[in-house]
Amino acid sequence: MELPVVNINSPVEAYEDPLDLMDEIESLKKERDASILAHFYVDGDLQDIADFTGDSLKLARDATQVKTSTIVFCGVHFMGESAKILSPEKKVLMPDLHAGCSLAESCPVDRLAAYQAELRAKGHDFQTVAYINTTAAVKSLCDWIVTSGNAREIIDRVPADKEILFVPDQHLGRYLSSVTGRPMILWPGSCMVHEVFSVQDLLRAKRNHPGSLVMSHPECPANILEVSDIIGGTEKMRKYVASVTEPKTFLVATEANMIHPLKKLAPQHEYIPVPGIMTSTGETCACNRCPHMALNTLQKVRDCLKYSRPEIVWQPYFSQAQEVLQRSLLQ
């Protein structure tokens, strides 16, 4: 079979009918014995064709349960890595291996190793807790992995006599420190999507929609969380809207594709994505969309099934990351 020439500098795909692509994907899935896993932050069409949708905690667990020999992971690179690490016997394909994560990039493995050594040399006795949005190489240097869905529970497992180094999301770390009462040494990373919400715009939107509720992801900075009614990861957001029967307006401060599963689950409500703001110009922008998640498209899902690539390939440091991921997410 002839492989396509991949030009990563040319993101524009020739138009193909989405319904035709969906049919093609359905038959390729059978041919290749594959299941599709899709994160809540990818495009709604991809969530609709997926066999499993969820946050990274649920998808990591789903990856261990799928019956097929191949997984196509629609999300970002660290999620595909976690699926491979927890299910090494499966072939894990990703529509686009360039789908990275600003948080993961903010914490390179060599800088973390140097910082841990510096803290130890200064006499700190600590455990390292990493948000799942990190590379597998970074995970291999950590004691615990948390997701937005299990963070409190995992932090309770860190012995009380140990300090906590939390990487890489300073906002999530600060929030977790406030709710658990555990002081933390924070790595100065942040998510490019959650960092850009403007508190002024949010307060204006709240005023324009009397009775609305602000629902924010804990990756948002403290000034956004302070004016929020509900703070939680994507699974918590879903549970919350499903528990409210009376129609409400929710102002949602997270990746805008999250509106798709919320609408599907609880269509009685109105959901308004909080816009991002471009700090250089002060204008609102579409930066509440993650550019990495947006690299996942129907065409790329079809192509990765057709050509069985690109694939997450097992790396030597995955074994160490496997231990910490299993302990944190599966036990």
Q: How far is the CB of 289 from ligand CIZ (least distance, A)?
A: 14
Cα Rg, the chain, nearest whole Å: 20
Pairing of strands 34-39, 230-231: unpaired
Least separation in angstroms between residue 290's CB and ligand CIZ is: 9
- Between CA 97 and CA 76 the distance in angstroms is 8
Q: Measured between alpha carbons, how far apart are the two ends of the chain, in Å?
A: 43
Q: How far is the CB of 286 from ligand CIZ (least distance, A)?
A: 19
CB of 9 to ligand CIZ, least distance (A): 27
State in angstroms the smallest separation of the CB of 227 from ligand CIZ.
Answer: 19
- The two tokens of residue 76 are 């970002």
Output DSSP code: residue 9. Answer: T
Q: Alpha helix (H) ranges present in the chain?
A: 18-32, 44-49, 56-65, 77-86, 102-105, 109-121, 136-139, 151-155, 170-180, 199-208, 222-225, 234-243, 259-265, 298-307, 318-325
Q: Does 133 help bind ligand CIZ (rule: CB under 6 A)?
A: yes
- The structure tokens listed for 36 are 């599709």
The residue range among 52-60, 166-174, 239-247, 274-282 that interacts with ligand CIZ, by the rule CB under 6 A, is 52-60
Shortest Cβ 83–ligand CIZ spacing (Å): 12
Of 102 and 234, nearer to ligand CIZ (C-beta) is: 234
| Amino acid code (one letter) for 141 | L
Q: What are phi and psi of 2, to 5 degrees?
A: -85, 130
Does 296 bind ligand CIZ (CB under 6 A)? Our answer is no
* Whole-number Å distance between alpha carbons of 206 and 210: 6
Nearest approach, Cβ of residue 278 and ligand CIZ (Å): 23
Give 148 or 190: the residue with its C-beta nearer to ligand CIZ. Answer: 148
H-helix or E-strand spanning residue 131: strand 126-131
Q: Does 147 bind ligand CIZ (CB under 6 A)?
A: yes
Separation CA 218–CA 191 (nearest Å): 11
Helix (H, G, I), strand (E, B) or coil at 186: strand
Please say which residue, 37 or 298, places its beta carbon nearer to ligand CIZ. Answer: 37
Site size toward ligand CIZ, by CB under 6 A: 11
Does position 150 interact with ligand CIZ (CB under 6 A)? The reply is no
Write each residue from 55 to 84 as x if it is in contact with ligand CIZ (CB under 6 A), else as -, in one continuous string: xxx---------------------------
- Site residues for ligand CIZ, window 233-272 (CB under 6 A)? 233-234
The DSSP bridge partners found for residue 131 are 146
The smaller minimum CB distance to ligand CIZ, of residues 28 and 57, is found at 57
The strand pair at 184-186 and 230-231 is best described as unpaired
Q: Which is nearer to ligand CIZ, 212 or 257 (CB)?
A: 257
Interatomic CA distance for residues 194 and 176, integer angstroms: 16
Whole-number minimum distance, CB 217 to ligand CIZ, in Å?
6
Write the binding mask 216 to 235 for ligand CIZ: x where contact by CB under 6 A, - elsewhere: -x---------------xx-
Interaction between residue 47 and ligand CIZ (CB under 6 A): no
Kindly list the residues in this chain that would bind ligand CIZ in the complex (CB under 6 A).
Answer: 39, 55-57, 132-133, 147-148, 217, 233-234
